[in-house]
């Protein structure tokens, strides 16, 4: 097993396959050797299938040798969050209420596109129950830990995906985000996470959270995310709310826009958030470095009134529908905190739900006006530093108090991303939030690519805590 091979990007692997310098089989075998060493530390996976992965890798190897790869990600290892249907494997959503004894004979759209592109789908990553917590723990799979310090949380709900990518356990991870579930763990694990515009990546089956949720990549660099988005955004007739297909190769357009041409706003609080001072100072230093390298950045104290209460009313209405089928026996198996929230949503006031939808429409209008002046909005990703993995929130805080920046842009369906921008004195990574206008996924990726050149992070790797410092 070599760490050097484990941390190669999807982009570099693709070039190595083309030249014959590497084989998808070698990469996959190296991956599973690394999994044996690190998975007991991280607990990032709920399904691993070495045999299926090697079969896919051998098929990919034959295609590359014949000069007939299916795509640039042919033979690249990819993990899938356990919220997304994956043929042949159970999708239990981190819950004891779902029976594994089902056919499991359907791929969700993004998974189907990855298979068609020849990706090596090797396992499913952990999620909290129903992907409904910003940390990653459940009665089904236990606690997932942060590779930078296993005593701390990786965030959630795509914590398994982010921990895996940060650890060199596959360069690409397919994740979901309905309130920050890609961006929160990307920030806490020191990787790149992109939440595409609502509808950019087709989804199936439909979920009650579909108007808030989206599928997207978690990777160690921007180019890999762009490569993955080019694949998973291809059309699927099963999603009635999907955007018209835009056949852009995102990875080929990343350097089309110069940093100095971007009109950028930085808001440290959006006008309502309370942010840990050290965390904000790290983000501010990154902002200053971008400005010193030609970025045109205005400081904007207030972007909007807090939309958090409206978001909570929306979630109650969605939860009432999503979980009304769970009777007393099933509810007894649900995480007590989640169960309490489900019970509180029973019989949600329809009028309040539609009031929240109207507030959502107004928020969309405000942000559309904002982006007439600014191409990109920057903020912190979260407002608190990493906390113990056994907790659902920082000490003394509410479950959602520390994530005030991400969910507004699920409400507006805008594309947004988290990029690493520095480290706290604890040694834990801190992310910066990039938000673009609705549908402007390319603009977000282009901005992220320019920032990546100024704030490089790909070569900085976690050490898995002092007790495992030899693992690198």
| Residue 469 scores a pLDDT above 60 | no
C-alpha distances in angstroms, 164 versus 14, 15, 417?
20, 23, 18
Q: What is the pLDDT of residues 96-155, one digit of tens each?
A: 999 999 999 999 999 999 999 999 999 999 999 999 999 999 999 999 999 999 999 999
Average pLDDT over residues 320-344: 86
For 31, phi and psi rounded to 5 degrees?
A: -60, -50
* Residue 157 bears catalytic tag: yes
Query: Each residue of 349-395: pLDDT tens digit?
Result: 778 878 889 999 999 999 999 999 999 999 999 999 999 999 999 99
158 catalytic? Reply is no
pLDDT at 210: 72
pLDDT at 11 over 80: yes
pTM of the model: 0.96
Q: Are 173 and 147 in contact (CB under 8 A)?
A: no
Of the listed 23, 181, 267, 383, which one is catalytic?
A: 181
From 160, 74, 166, 67, select the one nearest 115 (Cα to Cα).
Answer: 74
Q: Is 181 tagged catalytic?
A: yes
Distance CA 39, CA 11 (A): 25
Residue tagged active-site, from 81, 124, 133, 315 = 81
Tell me the three state secondary structure of residue 329: helix
Per-residue pLDDT tens over the stretch 258-267: 999 999 999 9
Cα→Cα distances 95→90, 141, 369, 399, Å: 11, 9, 41, 19
302: its two tokens: 């207030």
Top pLDDT among 209 and 18 is at 18
Is-contact 273 405, C-beta < 8 A?
yes
Indicate if the pLDDT at residue 468 is higher than 60: no
For the chain, list the domains and their CATH numbers.
Answer: 3-468 (3.90.1300.10)
Alpha helices in 190-258 (DSSP H): 222-232
pLDDT tens for each residue of 308-326: 999 888 888 777 777 888 8
Q: What is the pLDDT of residue 1?
A: 59
Tell me, what's the pLDDT at 208?
Answer: 66
Which residue among 79, 95, 157, 345 is the active-site one?
157
Alpha carbon distance 214, 413 (integer Å): 9
């Amino acid at each position: 097993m070599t760490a050097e091979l484990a941390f190669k990007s999807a982009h570099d692997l693709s070039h190595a396959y083309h030249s014959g310098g590497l084989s998808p089989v070698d990469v996959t075998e190296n991956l599973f050797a690394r999994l044996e060493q690190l998975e007991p530390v991280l607990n990032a996976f709920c399904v691993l299938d070495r045999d299926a992965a090697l079969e896919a890798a051998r098929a990919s190897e034959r295609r590359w040798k014949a000069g007939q790869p299916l795509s640039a990600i042919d033979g690249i290892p990819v993990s899938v969050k356990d919220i997304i249907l994956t043929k042949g494997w159970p999708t239990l959503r981190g819950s004891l209420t779902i029976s594994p004894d089902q056919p499991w004979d359907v791929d969700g759209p993004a998974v189907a596109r990855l298979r068609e592109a020849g990706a090596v789908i090797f396992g499913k990553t952990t999620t909290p129950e129903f992907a409904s917590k910003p940390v990653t723990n459940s009665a089904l799979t236990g606690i997932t830990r942060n590779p930078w310090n296993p005593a701390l949380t990786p965030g959630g709900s795509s914590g398994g995906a982010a921990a895996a990518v940060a650890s060199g356990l596959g360069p690409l991870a397919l994740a979901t985000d309905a309130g920050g579930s890609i961006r929160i763990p990307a920030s806490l694990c020191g990787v790149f996470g992109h939440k595409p515009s609502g509808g950019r990546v087709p989804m199936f089956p439909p979920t009650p959270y579909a108007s808030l949720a989206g599928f997207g990549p978690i990777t160690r660099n921007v180019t890999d995310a762009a490569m993955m988005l080019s694949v998973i955004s291809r059309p699927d007739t099963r999603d009635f709310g999907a955007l018209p297909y835009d056949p852009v190769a995102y990875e080929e357009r990343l350097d089309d826009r110069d940093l100095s041409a971007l009109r950028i706003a930085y808001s440290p609080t959006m006008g309502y958030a309370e942010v840990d001072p050290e965390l904000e100072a790290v983000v501010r230093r990154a902002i200053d470095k971008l400005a010193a390298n030609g970025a045109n950045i205005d400081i904007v104290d207030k972007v909007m009134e807090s939309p958090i209460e409206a978001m909570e009313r929306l979630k109650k209405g969605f939860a009432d529908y999503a979980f009304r089928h769970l009777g007393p026996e099933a509810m007894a198996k649900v995480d007590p905190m989640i169960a309490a929230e489900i019970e509180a949503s029973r019989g949600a006031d329809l009028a309040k739900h539609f009031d929240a939808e109207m507030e959502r429409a107004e928020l969309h209008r405000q942000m559309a006006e904002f982006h007439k002046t600014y191409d990109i909005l920057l903020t912190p990703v979260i407002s608190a530093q990493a906390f113990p993995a056994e907790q659902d929130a920082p000490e003394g805080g509410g479950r959602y108090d520390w994530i005030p920046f991400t969910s507004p842009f699920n409400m507006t369906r805008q594309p947004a991303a988290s990029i690493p921008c520095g480290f706290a004195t604890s040694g834990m990574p801190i992310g910066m939030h990039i938000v673009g206008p609705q549908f402007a996924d390319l603009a977000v990726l282009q901005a992220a690519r320019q920032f990546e050149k100024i704030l490089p992070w790909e070569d900085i790797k976690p050490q898995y805590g002092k007790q495992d410092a030899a693992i690198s």
